[in-house]
Amino acid sequence: MNYTTQMDAAKKGIITKEMERVAAKENMETSQLMELVAQGAVVIPANKNHNALDPEGVGQGLKTKINVNLGISKDCNCVDDELEKVKVALKMKAEAIMDLSCFGKTEEFRTKLVEMSPAMIGTVPMYDAVGFYDKELKDITEEELLGVIEKHAQNGVDFMTIHAGINRETAAVFKRNERLMNIVSRGGALIYAWMELNGKENPFYEYFDKVLDICEKYDVTISLGDACRPGAIKDSTDASQIKELMTLGELAKRAWKRNVQVMIEGPGHMSLDEIKANMQLEKKLCHNAPFYVLGPLVTDIAPGYDHITSAIGGAIAASSGADFLCYVTPAEHLRLPNLEDMKEGIIATKIAAHAGDIAKGIKGARDWDNAMSKARRELNWEKIFDLSIDPEKARRYREESKPEDEHTCTMCGKMCAVRNMNKVMEGKNLNVLRDDD
């Protein structure tokens, strides 16, 4: 039987090679995964032109995945620097990389990224439009905006953020409800500005069927962008955010009728007590579509440490149903992240994702932690390093401060609880002040 997309195959009862690979990674029956893909509760972003892809699943019952944002800007436009980040991100096992390049002719970086990356690749075509056509925003036509989506699909991009929910209706709600931070989504702000400058409807909404034509042809997963995501905790869960979310739920159902896979993007900045309810709202209003969140950042006061504010919110979001976390680095709100910023962002987000998986009972999630606890009980330092989420840093910290007794660390020395309990439980003598016999 022939099929056009992973969802089309799933609805027809066809198990694709991508489904088989994802099921093996997730320790899930392929038939169960196929059913979840057919329902739209799981997506497998897999563009037909991305030949290097090692596919991942995102959604219900699967491990929480993380995304790394990369790409050139006008102020930092060295492709080689970004490609070096790509190599490190892949080594650190990020499941997705988004090319957010927003300057000049970005196709060079994008095509190299697709060629070398086994991780799924995402983009925001709206970022590329000005440079792609070398036109000011107002002068870009609806047909040209759709043309950028087609170009990215041809290049092999697996998922695209499309800000289709910020239509005239949503914009009217935004205008009537004052915000502290207005619209902070880069793509959302561009679309809103285009609409205002031209007095027209959002072309991604008005011509959504044409967007679906492209995505169905190449099997591109649509990541429905949240133009009205809150950029300040004061703006979270407001009328604009919820109105757009309702629109995204309607668009998801339209996409599924065309067998196009869909993710929903979400906040943003949000206080701790609102996160769980927001995850439930998305799942209800968007019919259990996979939820892709930025953070949420749980406070606005920590420039330079927003990988921490994001990881706190991300762990709660993942434990409450979020399926995909977009990383945040220490450079958030300040500059384009450098290589070290990227590493810190990846580690913080991986910790949040794993913590969320433990809390929501993902099969096998606790095995890693149990293995680490066993290695710690045995004071098996090499095993501890191997099991660490960042082995390089763990090993370096140990080497920088060596204890007198190799079975301990320089925090507790021979008062180490683990060492002493091992000795007592084995019936051995306990020497704290003297050398061991």
Residue 163 annotated as lining a ligand binding site:
yes
Residue 409 annotated as lining a ligand binding site:
yes
The SS3 of residue 264 is strand
Distances (CA, A) of 396 to 44, 381, 391: 37, 12, 8
Specify which residues 97 forms β-bridges with: 68, 121
% of the chain beyond a pLDDT of 70: 99
| CA–CA gap between residue 302 and residue 342 (Å, rounded) | 17
* Amino acid at residue number 103: F
Closest C-alpha among 228, 270, 223 to residue 58: 223
Residue 364 has pLDDT above 60, yes or no: yes
Instruction: Please give the domain boundaries of the chain with CATH numbers for all domains.
Output: 6-359 (3.20.20.540), 366-425 (no CATH)
Residue 185 annotated as lining a ligand binding site:
yes
Report the pLDDT value the prediction gives residue 27, as an integer from 0 to 100: 95
Tokens for 198? 């031209």
Residue 340 annotated as lining a ligand binding site:
no
Residue 227 annotated as lining a ligand binding site:
yes
- 375: Cβ contacts below 8 Å, ≥ 6 apart: 383, 384, 387
Residue 427 annotated as lining a ligand binding site:
no
Cβ contact 126:190 at 8 Å: yes
Residue 416 annotated as lining a ligand binding site:
yes
**57-75 mean pLDDT:** 94
| CA–CA gap between residue 102 and residue 27 (Å, rounded) | 38
Residue 228 annotated as lining a ligand binding site:
yes
Residue 101 annotated as lining a ligand binding site:
no
| CA–CA gap between residue 301 and residue 305 (Å, rounded) | 9
Residue 73 has pLDDT above 90, yes or no: no
pLDDT tens figures, 299-351: 999 999 999 999 999 999 999 999 999 999 999 999 999 999 999 999 999 99
Residue 171 has pLDDT above 70, yes or no: yes
Q: Which residue has the higher pLDDT, 408 or 311?
A: 311
pLDDT tens figures, 229-274: 999 999 999 999 999 999 999 999 999 999 999 999 999 999 999 9
| CA–CA gap between residue 349 and residue 330 (Å, rounded) | 12
What DSSP character marks residue 138?
Answer: G
- 393: Cβ contacts below 8 Å, ≥ 6 apart: none
| CA–CA gap between residue 304 and residue 283 (Å, rounded) | 32
- 423: Cβ contacts below 8 Å, ≥ 6 apart: 429, 430
* Reported pTM: 0.95
Residue 223 annotated as lining a ligand binding site:
no
* Residue that has been written with the tokens 């407001």 in this structure: 238
Question: Which secondary structure element, helix H or strand E, spans residue 326, and what is its range?
Answer: strand 324-326
Tokens for 49? 């032109």
pLDDT tens figures, 214-228: 999 999 999 999 999
* Amino acid at residue number 301: I
Residue 104 annotated as lining a ligand binding site:
no
Average pLDDT, the chain: 96
Residue 56 has pLDDT above 70, yes or no: yes
Residue 13 annotated as lining a ligand binding site:
no
Q: Provide the pLDDT confidence category of residue 105 given band limits of 50, 70 and 90.
A: confident
Report the pLDDT value the prediction gives residue 436, as an integer from 0 to 100: 61
Residue 226 annotated as lining a ligand binding site:
yes
Tokens for 152? 């990215």
Residue 102 annotated as lining a ligand binding site:
no
* Amino acid at residue number 160: M
Residue 398 annotated as lining a ligand binding site:
no
Report the pLDDT value the prediction gives residue 430, as an integer from 0 to 100: 84
Residue 437 has pLDDT above 60, yes or no: no
% of the chain beyond a pLDDT of 90: 90
**157-175 mean pLDDT:** 98
| CA–CA gap between residue 342 and residue 336 (Å, rounded) | 10
Cβ contact 287:269 at 8 Å: no
| CA–CA gap between residue 53 and residue 47 (Å, rounded) | 9
Report the pLDDT value the prediction gives residue 131, as an integer from 0 to 100: 85
The SS3 of residue 256 is helix
The three-point CA angle 99-102-105 to 5° equals 90
Q: Which residue has the higher pLDDT, 78 or 426?
A: 426
- 383: Cβ contacts below 8 Å, ≥ 6 apart: 375
Residue 305 annotated as lining a ligand binding site:
no
Closest C-alpha among 215, 211, 177, 219 to residue 191: 211
How crowded is residue 233: how many other Cβ atoms within 10 Å of its Cβ? 22
**CA-based end-to-end distance of the chain:** 74
Instruction: Report CA 394 to chain centroid distance, whole Å.
Output: 25
Cβ contact 215:256 at 8 Å: no
Residue 174 has pLDDT above 90, yes or no: yes
Helix, strand, coil percentages for the chain (3-state, nearest 5): 50, 10, 40
